[in-house]
Structure formats: structure tokens, C-alpha cells
Chain A
Amino acid sequence: MEDYTKFKLKRKEELDAVLADKNDLFVVACNKCFKELDSFDEPECGLFEEIAKEQGKNIVGSARIDFLCNEPLTSKSFEGLLPEGTKNVFVISCGLGIQTIAGLVEMPVYAASDTVIVDGHHGMALTTTLCDACGQCYLNLTGGICPVVDCSKSLLNGQCGGAKNGKCEVDKEMDCGWQLIYNRLEKQGRLQEMLNQPVELRDYSKVNHKFVSEYVKSVREERYEGYYGGIHPTEFKELSEHSSLVRFPEPLNVVIPMSQHAGAPAEPIVEVGQQVKMGQKIAQAVGPISSALHASVSGTIVAVEPRLHPISGLEALAIVIQSDGKNTLDDSVKPAGDLDKLSADEIIEIVREKGVVGMGGAGFPTAVKLKSPKPIELVLLNGCECEPILTADHRVLLEYADEVVYGLKAMMKASGAPKGVIAIEDNKLDAVELLQAKTADIENIEIVVAKTKYPQGAEKMLIKRVMGKSVPSGGLPMDVGAIVCNVSTAKAVSDAIQLGMPLIERVMTVSGNRMNKPGNYLVKIGTSVKEIVNHCGDVKGDDVTIKIGGPMMGFAQANLNVPMLKCSNGIIAVETTVKEAVECIKCGRCADVCPMELRPLYFTKYALSEDWEGMKTQNTMDCIECGSCEYICSSKIPIVERIKIGKTAIREGK
């Protein structure tokens, strides 16, 4: 691969002159971008230091930083880096990096490099320069060949007459751009069109500082809104956001895997042949982080055996119940009484007993969160639903607003939090309005409207957005005094207390542009995905991927004979993406969008070379697997997959 680095060390004579009256130097080198990620060593840094040492200069220190121009990340990396006694900073980088450092430090900053124009930095494909960004595209008149770039003189009204044998007078290796245009238009039968063109004049005022600077300001505000990075995938929520909840038809069988939460799988307490009622406990929690399971239908236990698990893709122990279609309620399902009369511990016990777990994704047992060893100042209900396509939480907010508020109050009481917040993204304004009305009289509950940006629903992002605090590396929300729960979880807490109903059904979205009949459904836990897809009119086309969850973090399913879990918020059918991974070109987009402020490009390399130490140095374990890096990757590298490999290796102690 060609090297598109756009800076070169200045000539030695020039460096000698700049260095002459300066001493006590700190050297900063930018790890180059737009080049194959093949080594992490940039020779210029050493070369410069040699030149400086030859002059007898004292070098107080040096640093190599990725994407020096990325001010938010660079300012962090640079913090406290300059040793005492530093008098001058020399930077080896393109002009952007030099200016970033010059803006960060008070002392004089010098450029040790010159920035050169390289082909192909417009567009991500590192080919040749194809576009001059003139703001007045002429390609429609020229058969898709750019006269501004492909003609040395950027002529707009035909060739200058200087070409010889079709080659440009400025560069004999270069084809005459207008000759190419002529040939292309002739081929398309458009010569008359070309001859009829009125005289073209370029408008140089189109690309002006004002337009660009105002634009930059707006984009930067959006990019750093709430938290660093993030992306804006197409939402496709219109497919189902206005479809009211429908109760899914009674399943004949339900398959309830013992593992549907973070922590240890539950242990069956029923036997094959046994009759169970709806809401009856069928499996008990094992250990501190585990959760009980309940029958979602009344009927007969027909099997306790390994079945295909939708997340692991492996067989795992499950209880299969054949429904008698009666949904006879278990005696244990009865209201717990007035919330005011319940103690914090009683609420936590109900939540534990009724098998409530986080319903946004990971399925962490809610009772464990509520029983925080650290003081909690805020219960943060997550109604962001930042995943595209999914609208389940949106419908819960609209159709169970009272239950959500009740659940929040219960969790505040259980955790001793003085304050509650329901965070909703601004693409659900109807839900915002409704919840604002419902909570208008409640002093300590606030509705926060967050500007839509993925992955806002990730708890660490949401905490940053709402509280302005960062959860420390490896830490939990409680470390900053917060509990984050999904709005569906709040509804489940409400059901557990008000009805005595354990978590046996949930709201889910069945959608995607390849699903024939998108909608939102109230589905029993354990219902077969295949049944649900069939019920929704099956999928369109043959290049379809079905996922449980959203398009960003959902799990693709090859075999639809898997059950719905407590944390399955949707089934989507989308067009299968075709991609072939190529080498990383260090375009830096992954580092620009990573909300955890990591540098995912390293993971792609370290996973392949099994460099687990490198993985640790780059804080792989902090990755939340949101997939933003993979989404934006111009080289189509399966970054998340490689990150998971690294995480597994580190967990295994490699």
C-alpha cells in the first residue's frame, strides 16, 4: 500500500537554523495517518533527535501520539507530559497537529516538519486526487471527469491547445483532461450537449471561510454533544414507531433458557411432567449475581434439556413448557401492597424474587444494582433507545407511562436515591411530552431530553450526558452514585410490586425494512423467534439477515429455532451487508467516533498478532462493543469481533 503521510521532516539546514538558539527541547511526533498500519515506530522522531543531539541540544523528553490533530484526545494524552525545565516544544506532524499542540501549551512550539499535498485525502479510498471541492460540481457537463482536477489549468470551457499527442503541456505523463472529457462524451453521444454549453465561469466566492467555519462549528457541537464521539446511523424507526402494542398470540410451547441474565445461570426446580401455573417460579438464582425464572404460561413441563441459545449460539440448558392455553395464574402472583408501606429491603426482595433483570441488553439482575454498597444519588431511567429500528422502549413509554414512573419511584426508594431522571432522545417527542405531563407534580423526577446520537443508551454515555461524570475505567455506575435502568425494567419492577407478576413477558419490536409486517408486540418470554417472524408475514428477499436486538449490537441468527429472552428487545430483518475487510489505512475515523475515547485501530492489529499486552495497554476492556468503530470503518474491518477475541484472551488471563 502506498504511504499517504502528508508531512516530511524539514531539511537539515532548515532544522539547524531553527534549532540554533533553542535548547531543552521536548519532541512530539504524530503517529502518521493515512498509511498502512504496519508499524508503530515513526523514524522521523529519532532522526530529528539525532539532528538536535548533533547540535548538542538537551532533549528533555519525547512523545508519540496518534492523531495529534484530534484535540479532545490529544489534550488528554498530553496532560502533564511536559517535564519541568522544558523550554521549547518541537512537533513532527502535519500543520494540524502542530497547531493543536501550539494551542495547548504556553511555551513556544516549533514545526520540525513540512506538510505536503498528497493525493487522495479527499474521500477515504486513497486513490488519486479526484475532487478539488470547488463547491460547484461540473461533473454533470463533463461525463464525470473533473475539469478542475484533470486539467492542469482547471479550464472549464475546453482544452487550452497546449496538449501534444493527448498529453498535458504541464506534465507529459498526464492525459489532457479535456481530451478525456471529449472522448467520454463522444462515447455517450453527448458531443452536441457539450457544444451547446454556455460559457462557464468559476465562482470563487462559493467556497468561503464563513460557510466552512460555521459548518465546522455546527458539526463539532453535534459531535461532542453530551459525550465524545458517537454516530448517527439511519434510524428507520418510522417503520414501527406509530404501531400500537399488540399482544402476541399465545405460544404453544415456550423455551426458557436458564441463562438469560448476566452472571450464573439459574437452576431448574421443576421436573418433566410437572404441571406449572403462569408466574410460578421454575428455576432459582444461584449465587449473588443470578436471577430466578418463572413460567410464562400455564401448562406441562415437557423437557429440561439443552436447547440452542440465541446469544451464545450454543446449546444451553432450558425448560420447555407446553401451554394449556389457559394462563392460570399462580397463587404467588398477588399485589405487594402500597409502595409507601414497603421498606427499601422489601422492594429489593420483591425485585429479586420476581426475576427482574435489565431489559435493555445485558440482563444484569436489577436487585443487585439496587442493593448498592455505595451511596446512590440518582436513578437514571434509560429511554434513549438509540439503536436504529427498535421502538419497543418508545412504546413502553407511551403505553405504560404510569408504570414506568411507578417503577422509577420504587427503585429510588429501594436504592435511597434522592433523585430520578428519565432520559429520552429527541426523536421521541411524544413520549417526552407525555412523561413530562406525568411527572410535572413530582419534584424529584426530571425528564431529560437528549439529542439523538448513538450509543447514547450505553450507561456510561448516558451518565456523561446527564450527570457530566465519567465512570472510571473498569468501574460501575455506582462509582459515580448512579443506577441506570431501562424503562422496560422500570415497568417490570412496577408489575412485580403492583401485580405481583414476575418478569414473564416483555415488549419487543419486530421490524426492519425486510420484515413484511413490522410492529410492536407484547411477547411471552420463551416464545420462538421463528413463530414471531412467521406471524409478522415473514421476510422479503433472499439477502436477509435476522438479528435479535438492534442492527448495531444485535445478534445475527442463522437458525430461528431460538427463544425470546428477557433482554430481547427486538427481532429485525435487514439487508445482508456485503463486505470484504482490507488493510487499515489509519484514517482515524474509529478513534473519532469511539465514545469510550479508545483507539480501536490498534485492536484490529493486536488481535491478529495475538498481542494481548498491547490490547491491555490500549484499554480493550473498557470497550462497550457498541460497534460505532466497525460501522464507520472505511476498510470494513470486523473490529468488534477482534475486540471480543482480545477481551476473551485477557479474561482467560493470557
Chain B
Amino acid sequence: MRITELFQRGEFVLTAEVGPPKGVELDHLIKDAHEYLKTRVHALNVTDNQSSVMRTGSLATCKVLKDEGLLPIFQITCRDRNRIALQSDVLSAALLGIENLLLLTGDYTTLGDHPQAKPVFDLDSVSLIHAVKRLEEGFDIAGNAVDGAPPKFAKGAVVSPCSDSVDVQLAKMEAKVKAGCEYFQTQGVYEPEKFIKFMEQAKQFGVPVQLGLIIPKNVGMCRYMNANVAGVHVPDDMIKELQADKEKTKAGDTGVEICARLIKECKDYAQGVHIMSLGWENRIPEILDMAGIAPITPVV
């Protein structure tokens, strides 16, 4: 099922991010997905060699999750594939019944574990969205007809509401919408007021937006993100909150509370929530419980 249908139905769409391992043992990932996510989120984003670190492929992992009765979102970046490979993988996804896409430009190669690799960036997020839209219309990006019935996807992209230059973000968001983007997941949000202000401006595009959350595990992680992660800013009082009760923070409870609170504060302005747990999948049910979001009936 395409998650755009859920948005259309007016559902508050819940998604969570999982990262394939470096290796082919997916047991752990599958077990966690069943145990913590299956009845709590509608779909699972599968990252594409996240942070430019080489791992098992997103598409194959999506297929495994789908076979397990879960709804995967295939994340595709432009870093490692030229337009031929990108379109080919999109068609492959359709072949495997994977209908949800999140289309990204991708981190630069030198940030990961193969800094010597050739960066591709033949297309970027906007032209990739366009390419997928063209495939849906029955043509590839070079204008050649695609045989048979064209595929249909839910085409998603990302945006950073708490970026230090929101105006530039909005300009690009508009380009993505015009190119055919149908839903957005945001970068991690820690400042509800910025998110709300952003959403007031983004409303004009008429495209659903999921509030992005990164569970703040500890002070060090927050400081690191403030220094290095684009579009993310953890305010000082939140860092103080994490510092206040060290034991509680260590147990992960402060982070869970913060996330739940952020959901509550932003819920009315967003069309869903996307949680990037970075290995803390087991805490997602608690967050949602605390935020007052009930379990869901799984869709496939």
C-alpha cells in the first residue's frame, strides 16, 4: 500500500527508520520490527547506505520486510548511482511490490567509510522525483516509453524545518512539490515553535508533512548534532534537561519523554510522525504511548 493513501484517508501517519546492517544477517532487524514497530507504525523507512557507510542494500531489505508482512519505504540517494541505475532500481522496486519511496540527494562520499569512492550525483533529489514521476507517466527521463502498465508510487522527500536558513529550505521544498513530491518527512525537530512556524508557511503547498524525531540519547549526542548535523538544533534547556537527572537520561527515559512531549506539542500541525531511533527501536512504543498515540492495525 502507498502511504499517500493513508494521508488521504486523514490518518496520522506513523513511520520509523531502520538501517540495514553491514552484512546479510537481518534476524535482529526483523525481530525488532515485529516486536516494537509492527503495531505501532504504519511503515518502515529503510536507509540507503546511511551516512555514506556501505551496508546491505535498501531495496533488498525492503523486500525482506515486505515478505515479513511489514510496509517498507525504499530510501534512494543520488550519491552512488547515475540516472540509469536510479531509474532501474525504481522499476525493480515496482517489480517487487515496493510502492513507497523517499527520494534524497544523499550525504557526500567523504563523510562515510569509503572516502575514496567516486561521488556520482548525476541526478539530485528534485530531478530524481521528476524521473520517478516520468516513469509513472510511462516514460523514462530520456523520453523513452516504458513497456506495459507504468508503476505507481508514493513519492516522498525530506525538508529541514529547523534549518538555519528556512527560506532556502522552503524554496527547495516548493521545487520538490512541483516536481511531484507527495509527502515530506522532516529532519529531527527539537524546537516546536520553529516547526509550527515552518508548517504555517509550508501549508500553502498542500502536501502532508511528518514531524521528524531523533531520540536524544544523551548530552554528547545532542552537542555532536548541534555541531555537525545539518538542520538539527537541540536548544540549551533541552540539554539541561538531559543533564539534570543523569541516571534517568542514561536509562533513556529523558529522551523518550522529550520525544513524547514534542509529538504532543506539534501533533496538531503535522500529518504524521517519523521517528529516527538510531538503534532504540524498543523505545518507540513507549514514546507513542506517552504521546497518547494508540497502536495501529498493520497495513501492507
Contact = CB atoms under 8 A, between A and B. Distances in A.
Direct contact of A and B (CB under 8 A): yes
Interface residues of A, number: 7
Nearest to A210: B110
A203 B116 contact: yes
Contact of A201 (B110, B115, B116): B116
B110 A202 contact: no
Contacts of B21: none
B106 to A, nearest CB: 15
Contacts of A218: none
A40 interface: no
14 contacts: A201-B116, A202-B116, A202-B118, A203-B116, A204-B109, A204-B116, A204-B117, A204-B118, A205-B109, A205-B110, A205-B115, A205-B116, A205-B117, A206-B116
Contacts of A208: 110
Chain A to chain B: the 4 pairs with minimum beta-carbon distance, closest first: A203-B116, A204-B118, A205-B115, A205-B110
Contacts of B110: 205, 208
B119 interface: yes
Contacts of A205: 109-110, 115-117
Interface string B117-132: 1110000000000000
Contacts, number: 16
A203 B115 CA distance: 8
B179 to A, nearest CB: 21
Contacts of A203: 116
Interface in B61-112: 109-110
Interface residues of B, number: 7
Contacts of B116: 201-206
B114 to A, nearest CB: 9
Contacts of B115: 205
A202 B116 CA distance: 7
Contacts of A206: 116
A211 to B, nearest CB: 12
Given A202-B116, A204-B118, A205-B110, 11 more contacts: A201-B116, A202-B118, A203-B116, A204-B109, A204-B116, A204-B117, A204-B119, A205-B116, A205-B117, A206-B116, A208-B110
Contacts of B118: 202, 204
Contacts of B119: 204
Interface of A: 201-206, 208
A627 B51 CA distance: 54
B84 to A, nearest CB: 14
A233 B82 CA distance: 47
A208 B108 CA distance: 12
B78 to A, nearest CB: 16
A202 B119 CA distance: 12
B267 to A, nearest CB: 42
A205 B109 CA distance: 8
Nearest to B117: A204
Nearest to B118: A204
A208 B109 CA distance: 12
B121 to A, nearest CB: 12
A205 B117 CA distance: 7
Interface in B203-257: none
B245 to A, nearest CB: 42
Nearest to A208: B110
A206 B117 CA distance: 10
Contacts of A202: 116, 118
A202 B117 CA distance: 8
A596 B89 CA distance: 60
Interface centre among A202, A203, A204, A208, by most chain B C-beta atoms within 10 angstroms, is A204
Nearest to A136: B116
A577 B138 CA distance: 68
A203 B117 CA distance: 6
Contacts of B117: 204-205
A201 B117 CA distance: 9
Nearest to A154: B118
A154 to B, nearest CB: 10
B49 to A, nearest CB: 16
A147 to B, nearest CB: 15
A158 to B, nearest CB: 19
B115 to A, nearest CB: 4
A117 B116 CA distance: 25
A205 B119 CA distance: 9
A206 B109 CA distance: 12
A530 to B, nearest CB: 63
Interface string B174-206: 000000000000000000000000000000000
Nearest to B108: A205
Contacts of A204: 109, 116-119
A343 to B, nearest CB: 70
A203 B116 CA distance: 4
B53 to A, nearest CB: 15
B294 to A, nearest CB: 48
A201 B118 CA distance: 10
A489 to B, nearest CB: 58
